[in-house]
Structure 1
Amino acid sequence: MNMRLWMRIFLHILMLVSALIFLIFIVLIFGAKLFTISDFLKVSWINIPLYVIIIAVVLAATLLYSAYIATSLNEPFEEVKNRLNWLVMDKYQHSIFEEEVDSDSWFDENNIIIENINRLRVRLLHLTNDLQEFSAAPLFVGSETREEIIEHERQRIARELHDSVSQQLFAAMMMLSAINEVEKNEEMTNRRKQLIKVEEIISNAQTEMRALLLHLRPVELNDKSLKEGITQLLNELKNKIPIELIYQLEDTQMESGIEDHLFRIVQEAVSNTLRHARASKLEVYLQQDHDTVSLKIIDDGVGFDIERTGNIGTYGLANMKERINSLGGTIKIVSLKNQGTIIDISTPIQREKLQLVKEGVK
């Protein structure tokens, strides 16, 4: 029982009853003049003053009655609150919506509020389904889709960067490594310090170039599952980047359109981490709980101010939010300075769609 609700009801009833009793005594004493105040205070029962008995009875009755009212009001209120909470968390398929509701309610005797919540849930399910289908549908510009045009241009830029800038960085890195190897036994002169610093700068530039190429020329899912695609992506990065990769990925069942969006989000997050976070560890977790797919990406980098406009990671985060919004899901981003960043994503999936996917119909 809600103690705050009980206390508020108790105080209101106590004030009302006290005012009523006081009014009755005023009428009896000053109106009808049946007895005086001093006579009343002298009246007792089993050596207990009558006014003490009246106060005790009023307090006890008020406590019990207010507890009854609070319980009667609190149970349907909690039922409504629980259902709304599951809707807010995008758990449209939760078993609570299939439970029978006790109709013995003072303010919702015919379960009108619960029925309206169920109608709202059905509309949210339909809207989520329509939104996911709309976001998965290709948008044609001439004979090609917008995604194909963007993808071709990104592939072209990635090839040019890889064939020119990336190769030049690699050659410069090899030359500097050779020079430093020759001079490693000499004293730490200013020239050698500068060479080491330049080598470090080029090494960082190579890491950022790999991240940029990952962003421009991402691995395709093709016929792979989301788990297989993320695993391949992370395995390819293991030997290319100086960062510890930790991942726990569960098998998921969902439409290919949703998988593509989530896969792109992982690519975006990994690219942002490599380019901006200066992290030593990156973690990726994927799991499915009935009608919800959860994706969590964690790094131990420098973090950033989410509210600050113009942040270097703002554009990438905006892309992630747009993708998740198009799926009817939610994304929570927590970032603290020098403590890393957590990206927590939750996307609803309709059970009917899940059944079709399991049966091989996508």
Structure 2
Amino acid sequence: MSWLALIITAALALVAALLWRRQRRLQDELVRLRGALATDVASERLKAAAEERRRLLADLHDDIGAKLLNLVHALERPEQADLVRSVVQDFRDVVSRTNQDACTLLQALGQIREETEARLEAAGSRLDWQQAPDTPDPDLDEAQVLHLFRIAREAVTNALRHGQATRIRMRVRAIARTLVFDVTDDGPGLAAAELTQASGRGTAGMRHRAEALHGSIDWAPGTTGGTKVILQFPLH
């Protein structure tokens, strides 16, 4: 075989190799584009489903929420009205959970304080809010915010409904990157057996939420009477 034939053969082999590599790249790109297209379609479907869910929840909120608020104004006993307000707030939690943004600890505490003050004022009670000035302000995710809100709300509900509280103290402080949040009422307090077992009255749900925060919750006698709920969970 002449040198010219060898050169032509080598050139053809090189061209064939380059074409094969080019074809492989094109095939890989086609697979990638098909995957991206499928992902985009799936993403659009998820967005559409989420939007429809938000629309349905908003409709439920506007309809059922309005009727519950009308019921609040029709009730004469403050504890009954507060119970309905608690149901309304729980319902709003369910609706807003889809769109709820994470926030910082201090923002969440500020919202808890504002909501509790409004509830106690409507029930003829008052709030004593005590927050350490050096309370840290880490970011909380949506689930943490929800658990903290629901524990605080249930503690207030129990104090009003079962403790006939006229004053509730909420105290916030941090000890070695652990948040200590306690709620104390001025009611008659719980019996020793009730404090030990702490069953019923929504306490099972409160324990579950405390565990979800990787923390703990306990019930104890208040310093000057009443019942104290103590929530502790780590801050990151």
Q: One fold, TM greater than 0.5? A: yes
| 1:253 paired to 2:137 | yes
In the alignment, which residue of structure 2 is the partner of 1:160?
A: 67
| 1:303 paired to 2:189 | yes
In the alignment, which residue of structure 1 is the partner of 2:232?
A: 346
**1:154 and 1:216 in contact (8 A); partners too:** no
Question: In structure 1, how many angstroms separate the alpha carbons of the residues matched to 2:91 and 2:199?
Answer: 16
Q: Aligned in 2, Cα 1:242/1:215: closer, same or farther, shift over 3 Å?
A: farther
In the alignment, which residue of structure 1 is the partner of 2:88?
A: 213
**2:78 and 2:122 in contact (8 A); partners too:** no
Alpha-carbon offset, residue 328 of structure 1: 1.7
Question: In structure 1, how many angstroms separate the alpha carbons of the residues matched to 2:69 and 2:184?
Answer: 28
In the alignment, which residue of structure 2 is the partner of 1:236?
A: 118
**1:330 and 1:347 in contact (8 A); partners too:** yes
In the alignment, which residue of structure 1 is the partner of 2:150?
A: 264
Q: Secondary structure at the match of 2:218?
A: strand
Question: In structure 2, how many angstroms separate the alpha carbons of the residues matched to 1:259 and 1:252?
Answer: 15
Match of 1:276 among 162, 181, 192: 162
Q: Aligned in 2, Cα 1:167/1:236: closer, same or farther, shift over 3 Å?
A: closer
In the alignment, which residue of structure 2 is the partner of 1:289?
A: 175
> Residue type matched to 1:297 in 2?
V
In the alignment, which residue of structure 2 is the partner of 1:66?
A: none
Stretches of structure 2 lacking an aligned partner (at least 5 in a row): 1-48
Question: In structure 2, how many angstroms separate the alpha carbons of the residues matched to 1:288 and 1:243?
Answer: 27
**1:215 and 1:267 in contact (8 A); partners too:** no
Q: Aligned in 2, Cα 1:296/1:154: closer, same or farther, shift over 3 Å?
A: farther
Alpha-carbon offset, residue 296 of structure 1: 0.5
Q: Secondary structure at the match of 1:239?
A: helix
Q: Aligned in 2, Cα 1:305/1:152: closer, same or farther, shift over 3 Å?
A: farther
Deviations, residues 42-87 of structure 1 (Å, cap 9, x unaligned):
xxxxxxxxxxxxxxxxxxxxxxxxxxxxxxxxxxxxxxxxxxxxxx
Aligned ranges 1:1-362 → 2 under 5 Å: 155=61, 157-163=64-70, 165-169=71-75, 202-217=77-92, 222=101, 223=103, 225-250=107-132, 251-257=135-141, 258-305=144-191, 314-335=200-221, 339-349=225-235, 354=236
> Residue type matched to 2:124 in 1?
P
Q: Aligned in 2, Cα 1:153/1:243: closer, same or farther, shift over 3 Å?
A: farther
**2:128 and 2:168 in contact (8 A); partners too:** yes
Residue identity over aligned pairs, in percent, reads 22
Count the aligned residue pairs: 170
Alpha-carbon offset, residue 158 of structure 1: 3.9
**1:279 and 1:301 in contact (8 A); partners too:** yes
Question: In structure 1, how many angstroms separate the alpha carbons of the residues matched to 2:190 and 2:59?
Answer: 30
**1:215 and 1:271 in contact (8 A); partners too:** no
Q: Aligned in 2, Cα 1:214/1:347: closer, same or farther, shift over 3 Å?
A: same
> Residue type matched to 1:166 in 2?
V
Stretches of structure 1 lacking an aligned partner (at least 5 in a row): 1-142, 174-201, 355-362
Deviations, residues 260-314 of structure 1 (Å, cap 9, x unaligned):
3222211221122222221111110111223211111111223345856xx9971
Q: Aligned in 2, Cα 1:206/1:244: closer, same or farther, shift over 3 Å?
A: same
TM-score of the two chains, using structure 1 as the length reference: 0.39
Question: In structure 2, how many angstroms separate the alpha carbons of the residues matched to 1:328 and 1:297?
Answer: 19
**2:186 and 2:225 in contact (8 A); partners too:** yes
